[in-house]
Amino acid sequence: MKNRKQLNVKTILLALVFMAMLGCERELSDEAEFATFSTTGEIFTDLPVGLGSDFYFPFLGSKATAFSVDESESYKGSASIRIDVPNANDPDGNFAGAIFRVDGSGRNLTNFDALTFWARASQGITIGEIGFGQDFGENKFQATRTNVTFGTQWAKYIVPIPDASKLVEERGMLWYSAGTNNTGGFGYTFWLDEVKFEKLGTIAQAQPSILNGASIEQDAFVDVPIELTGLTQTFNAGSGENITVIAKPSYFDFKSTDVDVARTNELGIVSVVGTGEATITATLANVAAAGSLALNVTGTFDFAPTPPERNSANVISVFSDAYNNVGVDYFNGFFNPDGQTTEGGAPPLNVNGDAVIKYTKLNFVGIGTFQDVAPLNTTDMTHLHVDIKVNESIDASDFIRLQLLNSVGNNETSGSFTIDANTLVANQWVSLDIPLSDFTDLGDRSQIGLLFFISDSTISEIFVDNIYYYK
């Protein structure tokens, strides 16, 4: 009987509530309160604010004990974040870097326009990276300010939010990475205080960019994705200073002129799905981004032949995915004002993980191995291997001449080998194994510093792969 009485009471109460609802002028959706995320902006004042008990996560290879709360140093109040950047030879980690992540649900930061903090250092230093949005998950809305200079006196710093409307549930409150590249390997200390998200109201004049603001035209290939880089957002901070942050692709809205040729996802990956032409552009918070990517898709990519599995002890590799390559100073040494027109070479194309060199407007171009790295001693080598694909029709008078320079500087010698039109095949890879003895007048080969590709503009566009010496 007791249970039945409780049931009757509940039924009556429900009926009364229902009748009251019918008599209300407002609808339920206006009265109901839904679960919301914290809108707290503070991250650290005298203590971490609302981060939970497990909030500090060092990067792999960094010194795990770099962070502490310093109760003897502060800009305001009684404590600050202290970061002790280790010496470069510290066995416990050669840099300091970590994220501060909310231990629990993220925060709604849509009412703010910047991450701000006060900072000072034990000496004048430059912090490599600092920002927010890293959570060791997708990091979808990471924003990074690079090469930030800290002095020995407290000063306020700003990391603008590229588009606050995206930050409805953000866990990554703060992150930093600091090393000793600018201090000769010696460690130092810096402090952060009053770390918070703020609505400054002075963050204005948005200037987003993709591809660092450049308008790029390039060939593309079906099923070979392209990653968009150089994504930034620049604001004027009100003081006259323009502040640029590196912004993750998820802040941007991408558009293609032909989605049946190419389309871009929220991670900034362009999927090439068909032949034709398409141009990728973007906006950020409804502001058009500088820069574009115009693609000419002719079909699938034709990879170079797989190089022979030669013993690596018998190979000096300049450029090949099959071997460990030597250090290369450049893939396009620009010899202006000597009339060079060649473009491309650096960075090499990344075709589904396979690196390929592409040269356009070719008249001559040099691959250098003599400045920051030692010249190549090819005395014991017998052949030069190279794969070349000419991406155009070939006339009977066309050629590509390979030229080797030994001992760049004093007592320089050079030798050349000409690949004529009968050897080259239009739009197909050709694998060449050239005896080094065929490089006429080269002589000594103990200090090879330059390899030239010369066409004298008879052939303008080529792919090059698998450049190595062997015996």
Mean pLDDT, the chain, integer: 89
In this predicted structure, the answer to whether residue 352 has a pLDDT above a threshold of 80 is no
- Judged against a pLDDT cut of 70, whether residue 32 lies above it is answered with no
What pLDDT band is residue 375 in, cutting at 50, 70 and 90?
confident
pLDDT at 338: 57
- The three-state secondary structure class of 367 is strand
SS3 340: coil
The reported pLDDT for the residue numbered 46 is 95
pLDDT at 2 over 60: no
Q: What number is the average pLDDT over the span 87-100?
A: 96
Q: What angle do CA 119, 247, 158 make, to 5 degrees?
A: 25
Length of the chain: 471
* pLDDT band, very low/low/confident/very high, at 315 (cuts 50, 70, 90): very high
- Selected from 2.60.40.1080, 3.40.109.10, 1.10.10.10, 2.170.190.11, the CATH number assigned to the domain covering 211-297 reads 2.60.40.1080
pLDDT of 204: 94
- The confidence band for 440, taking pLDDT boundaries of 50, 70 and 90, is confident
User: 163-177, 252-266, 322-336: lowest mean pLDDT where?
Assistant: 322-336
**Distance between CA atoms of residues 166 and 452, nearest Å:** 50
Fill in the DSSP letter of residue 23.
H
Q: Is the pLDDT of residue 206 over 60?
A: yes
pLDDT at residue 361, rounded to an integer: 87
Say whether pLDDT at 11 is over 60: no
CATH 3.30.470.10 fits 312-470, yes or no: no
* Per-residue model confidence (pLDDT) at position 262: 97
Q: Can you tell me the distance from the alpha carbon of 208 to that of 254, in angstroms, rounded to the nearest whole number?
A: 12
Task: Please write down the HEC assignment for all residues of 242-271.
Answer: EEEEEECHHHCEEEECCCCCEEECCCCEEE
Give 434 or 221, the one with higher predicted confidence. 434
Q: Where residue 15 falls among pLDDT bands split at 50, 70, 90? A: very low
Per-residue buried b or exposed e for 41-75, using 16+ beta carbons within 10 Å of the residue's own CB: bbbbbeebeebeeebbebbeebbeebbeebeeebb
pLDDT at 7 over 90: no
In the structure, what pLDDT confidence band is assigned to residue 340 with cuts at 50, 70 and 90?
confident
Q: Say if residue 436's pLDDT is above 90.
A: yes
**Residue 218 neighbours by CB under 8 Å, 6+ apart:** 293, 294, 295, 296
The residue among 182, 188, 195 whose CA lies nearest residue 131 is 195
Domain boundaries, the chain: 42-198, 211-297, 312-470
> Could you tell me what percent of the chain has a pLDDT over 70?
90
Query: How far out from the chain centre does Cα 334 lie?
Result: 25
∠ at Cα 129 (124, 130), nearest 5°? Answer: 95
Asked whether the whole model's pTM tops 0.75, one would answer no
Q: Looking at residues 321-337, what average pLDDT do you find?
A: 82
Q: Give CA–CA dist 270/254, Å, rounded.
A: 10
Instruction: Please state the φ and ψ torsions of residue 144, each to the nearest 5 degrees.
Output: -130, 130
Q: Please check the confidence at residue 293 and state whether its pLDDT lies above 70.
A: yes
Residue 320 has what pLDDT? 95
Tokens 């008078």, residue located: 397
One fold for both 42-198 and 312-470? Answer: yes
Identify the pLDDT of residue 306: 85
CA distance 43 to 223: 44
Assigned superfamily of 42-198: Galactose-binding lectin (2.60.120.430)
Tens digits of per-residue pLDDT, 145-171?
999 999 999 999 999 999 999 999 999
pLDDT at residue 9 in the model? 34
Give the span between the Cα atoms of 469 and 10, in whole angstroms: 88
In the numeric block, which tokens belong to residue 82? 């202290």
Least confident piece of the model among 183-187, 193-197, 244-248, 306-310: 306-310
